[in-house]
Amino acid sequence: MSQIHNKAIFDSLGEDYETHSNVNYYQKIGNGIINFLYNFLNIKSEEMDINILDLCCGTGILTKQLSDTFKNARFLGVDISQIMLKEAQAKEIDRADFIQIDGRDLGTLNYQADLITCNYGIQWLNEDAFIGISKILKSKGYFICSIPGYTLQNVKVSKESVTFTGNKLFKAIIKISNKNCHYQEAKVPEKVMNVWNDTLGEKEIINAALQNNMELVHQEILIFQIDYKNAEDMIQSILSRGTFGDILSEKSDEFIYALTKYMTRMSEKYNNCTEENVTKYLIFKND
């Protein structure tokens, strides 16, 4: 995915990224990163007198979580979108600075990090990003990232499931698209599939890290449930994410209304409005 396209996606999403539901969504995923720092790496809050780089920091959701948890650490948040960085800077996060840079150009920074974090961002980059990650990460330093646990192969959901997932939303998009020739011409399902295909997968991430002398020391899948007030609240949160948001935000209000109406019926059928999130965590150690 090109730098220009990546920047356009997240510039367009920046102002809507700070909705309550979306912040809650990314905070739950970010809590997993913090728990791994505590429990797997055995890093204690009072011992964190170190430099932490938050890659693809967006509006600083994870940066703030880390700052609130590790009081002695210093932070550098980097992101391609200046619009998102303005939101991050407005939080006035303690001991944090922010720089606009594409993650694939990380190696140009004059910076040494003890720890690099990346919350749902590494899949938007490419293999070359790991050259920069390895370069600025100190020897024996750690890189921990979260990526979507759903793939094109594992989004199947059992009929007994009582939660919404990316699968159910995708099925809704397909059904709505098939009901209207104008929607068919827009090829929304195909565009969503192209976005998924254009992002880095788990194997590509691991291979790129290994090629840059970074050892995979831990991997784990965690499942979260995010409750929403209603289907409209859920759709608004999803519109703030890169995978669906870049595509759906271009669609007509009529399409979004039809999608919300369908998901409302689903919430009534399952008697809840809960999204199930599957997240994969990868921890690498630099040589």
* 130 — pLDDT class (breaks 50, 70, 90): very high
Report how far residue 206's alpha carbon sits from residue 196's, in angstroms, rounded to the nearest whole number.
Answer: 17
Average pLDDT for 77-103:
94
Average pLDDT for 114-137:
94
Average pLDDT for 253-275:
81
Residue 27 has pLDDT above 50, yes or no: yes
| Cα separation values, 29 from 75, 143, 173, 216, Å | 19, 16, 25, 20
Q: Which residue has the higher pLDDT, 209 or 264?
A: 209
- The predicted pLDDT at position 32 comes to 94
Report how far residue 243's alpha carbon sits from residue 266's, in angstroms, rounded to the nearest whole number.
Answer: 21
- The predicted pLDDT at position 263 comes to 84
For the chain, the first-to-last Cα distance in angstroms comes to 28
Percent of the chain residues topping a pLDDT of 70: 75
Residue 1 has pLDDT above 50, yes or no: no
**Rg (Cα) of the chain, in Å, rounded?**
19
Domain that holds residue 155: 3-286
Total domains, the chain? 1
Per the DSSP assignment, residues forming a β-bridge with 78 are 55, 99
Cβ-based burial of 221 (10 A; exposed 0-12, middle 13-18, buried ≥19): exposed
Burial readout 227-264 (b: 16 or more C-beta within 10 A, e: otherwise): ebeebbbbbbbbbbbbbbbbbbeebeeebbebbbebbb
Q: 35-70, pLDDT tens digit by residue?
A: 998 888 877 666 668 899 999 999 999 999 999 998
* 87 — pLDDT class (breaks 50, 70, 90): very high
Helix H or strand E encompassing 13: helix 3-13
Are 53 and 135 in contact by the 8 Å Cβ rule? The answer is no
Confidence (pTM)? 0.85
Average pLDDT for 200-223:
94
The torsion angles phi and psi of 171, rounded to 5 degrees, stand at: -60, -40
Residue 11 has pLDDT above 60, yes or no: no
Q: What is residue 205's three-state secondary structure?
A: helix
- The predicted pLDDT at position 156 comes to 42
Q: What is the CATH number of the domain that holds 175?
A: 3.40.50.150
Q: 191-207, pLDDT tens digit by residue?
A: 766 666 678 889 999 99
- The predicted pLDDT at position 220 comes to 92
- The predicted pLDDT at position 271 comes to 79
* 73 — pLDDT class (breaks 50, 70, 90): very high
- The predicted pLDDT at position 155 comes to 43
- The predicted pLDDT at position 275 comes to 77
- Lowest mean per-residue pLDDT among 75-84, 158-167, 188-197: 158-167
Q: What is residue 93's three-state secondary structure?
A: coil
Q: 97-110, pLDDT tens digit by residue?
A: 999 999 989 999 99
Residue 186 has pLDDT above 80, yes or no: no
Q: What is the mean pLDDT of the chain?
A: 81
Question: Any residues with CB less than 8 A from the CB of 50 and at least 6 apart, and which?
Answer: 73, 74, 114, 115
Q: 228-247, pLDDT tens digit by residue?
A: 888 888 887 777 776 666 66
